[in-house]
Structure 1
Amino acid sequence: MTSDQPAATRLSELLGWRKSPDPGLTWAQVEDRLATEVPRGVKDLSLCFPTGSFGGWIHFYNPVQSERALDMFLGRAKTKTENFKYARSLNHAEFPHRFHPEEGGLVAWGHGDQHTYFWSSQPGPESVLYCDDHGDGWGQYPGSVPEFLHALFMDELETEVLYGQWAGCRFFTEFPDYAG
């Protein structure tokens, strides 16, 4: 495993995942329905991983895998947006961000373990934002989604928001019935 490999490839090797999904949709179709650009890191992740669960904790719906997976991705993102916008209306200090489709809003790409994981639709370098679903804290990782997941499973993240000891959960489980 070399550092010049794409982060999604390094993550795939770390988790022992060797089965790439066959995309059933194009990125143009996904971005048209989402109404925002998908970051390069999420695209790379989607080339290596189908819809499934990282470490049994972080659920990911591969938006380009199939119509069903895209519907689940969009539905989950919309539900998270509505929940967090409502929470923000009650307590802006604990939920200070904008959420897609608000301009530059956060897009939920993963959920589980009582946390939600986002990418920002603002122009600029990729980063991952994450929060406790109850508003007990936010964190940010300055890199792509696969870089974040790789650092998480290597126990290289220093955060008080997420649970620790991810190195013992180095696996990926595919959710059945999402193929194109």
Structure 2
Amino acid sequence: MGSVGDLAARLGIDGMAVNHVDWSAVESSLGLTLPDDYKALVEIFPDGRFQGFIRLIRPGAVGSPTAEYLGYYVQRLQDMREWRDDEPDRFPYPIFPEPGGLLPWGVSHRAGLLFWLTDGDDPSKWPIVVAHPEFEHWAAHDGPVSAFLDDVVSDRFDGDPYDIDLGGDPFFQPTPEGPDPALSAPTPAWLTPGLTDERPYDATAELAELVPPPALRRSIDWAAVQELLGLPLPADYRAFMEIYGPGTFCDITILPPEELPSLVERTFRKATSNPMRLPQICVPVFPEPSGMLAWGETADGWTCGWMPLDPENPDAWGTVMADPEVLGHQLHTELSMSSLLLKYAAAEGSGYALGRDMPWQGAPTFVSRT
């Protein structure tokens, strides 16, 4: 396996093939032979993210047939070509199936794409091209994919064009599957103070009445979002993104789905690097069992998140506010994202601070991200 086996050993993954793929059928769907190291990565590694940053595109992705490589990404490439028609300077490379065109092999934490430049008859020599999610910046790297991923987990990747720090110990984060066995464990100390008999409810309609949203309604492919994130998201968050879009509600900035993995990663690193953290008391952070999934940030550095106590029912997730050091927290198992925002906005400075020292002051507002 060469560098693929070395990479697997470094990341604690058994080097034996566990995923069996009909590569002849997959490659026939493309009309191309794929690099051997990529195929070995797919066979050895489960679905997941390298250093919380890169997820491999796998045959059958986003609900497409298992013998298809591109599936959903056919449309992503078509979108790129249509965008190029309007802004040709934004795309410096041909796009598959054009000769030597960009063929995606990975997805970044912000839903950006990583490509092979399929130039030449030897796929093992295809260069790697990393694109900003909006294709504003590009960076070329030597292949193969396994060597590139080794650079990523070894902190030899400088983050271009994302400008992020991927330092820290190498890790691979598998995509969660099925219910979390930790949910049957005794109630931890961090959960007890906020536990109530109430359950979250969708307050989107009341929220829109209190703070009228922009007139333009958005269309989002939520099946693709779930495939990229590895889990479903609550209905009220989906409705918020379609009705309001990303932006700042009062002083809470709510991120779009493609930016959630980056916030989750930052929160996890902040929490686990703090020597004062006591795991039995402090709120857990994803990918820890039942860990907080961040969806927003306040102006003074608090993190807003969901508590996914029932992974199969995101509409039952309560919310939590974690302080800037992710040491203290305020748990609201009775509040969904929308009902938390409603209660916060309707307080109009009366002191409902959601666990923070300073509540929002003044009338509720929403400022859309431009």
Query: Bigger radius of gyration, 1 or 2?
Result: 2
| Kept in 1: contact 2:116–2:129 (CA 8 A) | yes
Question: Are positions 1:149 and 2:149 aligned together?
Answer: yes
Q: Deviations over 1:55-110 (max 9, x none)?
A: 33322233289x96746842243132112112211212121211111122111111
The SS at the match of 2:71 is helix
Of 14-23 and 37-46, deviating more is 14-23
User: 1:173 aligns to what?
Assistant: 174
Q: How many residues align?
A: 173
User: 1:119 aligns to what?
Assistant: 116
Task: Measure, in 1, the Cα distance between the counterparts of 2:65 and 2:108.
Answer: 17
CA 1:71–1:89: 2 relative to 1, 3 Å: farther
The SS at the match of 1:11 is helix
Q: Deviations over 1:148-171 (max 9, x none)?
A: 011011111245313433233622
The SS at the match of 1:167 is coil
Q: 2:81 aligns with which of 79, 85, 88?
A: 85
The SS at the match of 2:167 is helix
Task: Measure, in 2, the Cα distance between the counterparts of 1:60 and 1:159.
Answer: 17
* Residue identity opposite 2:73 in structure 1: A
| Kept in 2: contact 1:23–1:64 (CA 8 A) | no
Task: Measure, in 2, the Cα distance between the counterparts of 1:61 and 1:21.
Answer: 17
User: 2:90 aligns to what?
Assistant: 94
Task: Measure, in 2, the Cα distance between the counterparts of 1:85 and 1:9.
Answer: 36
Task: Measure, in 2, the Cα distance between the counterparts of 1:133 and 1:33.
Answer: 26
* Residue identity opposite 1:87 in structure 2: W
Return the structure number with greater relative CO, CA threshold 8 A, min gap 6. Answer: 1
User: 2:103 aligns to what?
Assistant: 107
Task: Measure, in 1, the Cα distance between the counterparts of 2:74 and 2:20.
Answer: 22
* Residue identity opposite 2:100 in structure 1: G
Q: Deviations over 1:130-177 (max 9, x none)?
A: 100112210111120111011011111245313433233622314649
* Residue identity opposite 1:96 in structure 2: P
Of 164-173 and 142-151, deviating more is 164-173
The share of aligned pairs that are identical, in percent, is: 23
* Residue identity opposite 2:31 in structure 1: A
* Aligned-pair CA distance for 1:54: 2.2
The SS at the match of 1:133 is coil
Task: Measure, in 1, the Cα distance between the counterparts of 2:4 and 2:85.
Answer: 36
Q: If the length of structure 1 is used for normalisation, what is the TM-score?
A: 0.80
Q: 2:30 aligns with which of 24, 27, 34?
A: 34
| Kept in 1: contact 2:113–2:133 (CA 8 A) | yes
User: 1:17 aligns to what?
Assistant: 13
CA 1:32–1:172: 2 relative to 1, 3 Å: same
Task: Measure, in 2, the Cα distance between the counterparts of 1:79 and 1:64.
Answer: 14
Task: Measure, in 2, the Cα distance between the counterparts of 1:17 and 1:120.
Answer: 28
| Kept in 2: contact 1:49–1:62 (CA 8 A) | no
The SS at the match of 2:99 is coil
Task: Measure, in 2, the Cα distance between the counterparts of 1:149 and 1:112.
Answer: 12
Task: Measure, in 1, the Cα distance between the counterparts of 2:53 and 2:35.
Answer: 22
* Structure 2 stretches lacking a partner, 5+ long: 179-370
Root mean square deviation of aligned Cα: 2.9
User: 1:58 aligns to what?
Assistant: 54
| Kept in 2: contact 1:88–1:96 (CA 8 A) | no
| Kept in 2: contact 1:45–1:146 (CA 8 A) | yes
The SS at the match of 2:90 is coil
* Residue identity opposite 1:133 in structure 2: P
User: 1:130 aligns to what?
Assistant: 130
